[in-house]
Amino acid sequence: MDHVRIDEGIKRPKSLPAAPGRDFSVAKRPLNGIPQAERTQIAHTVLDRYINGEQVAAIAPEFGVSDVTIYALLLREHQEAWKDIQTARALARLETSQDELRTAPDALSLARAREQVRSAQWELERLLSRLYAQKQEITTNFQPVMNIQILTGQPAQVSVDGATLGATQLEHKENT
């Protein structure tokens, strides 16, 4: 039996189009080539626009840098603010997904909403673990036991953690 492609006869593009919002034609500047004042201004602008729903890849070309440079800037110099904003977006995404889950008109919409809820929950487990991660508590109750037996007419022996020490070893340990 010959193999037949399901897309036989359908023309395919010679190359894939660029991802939406990504401009590869802009000459990119490295992070260390940007003055501190400009880096701070870029970070605040990106954070403000990101919290309003824009993507970093769409914002970066306006500053002549790549999205990777923006992520590096946010992680190195504004990590807490970046984490807080990511958490806020994940919470908003969770709420929206839960609404879609409640109002799903068909099985496909229900499955899509369920996956979106799981995705938002997974992200929140990593970003805000103290509230959303599974709690793993381990309780140990260790009490050491030491048995001393004194037998008359025989040298003294002490058992500590399973090792038995004779009278000569005890005298040596007491002197040191």
Distance CA 172, CA 75 (A): 58
Q: How confident is the model at residue 156 (pLDDT cuts 50, 70, 90)?
A: low
Count other C-beta atoms under 10 Å from residue 124's C-beta: 19
pLDDT of residue 120: 92
pLDDT in tens, 28-39: 677 778 889 999
- Does the structure show a pLDDT above 70 at 60? yes
In the chain, the domains with their CATH numbers are 31-132 (1.10.10.60), 146-175 (no CATH)
Residues whose CB is less than 8 angstroms from the CB of residue 24 and which lie 6 or more positions away in sequence, other chains included: 18
- Model pTM score: 0.58
pLDDT of residue 132: 77
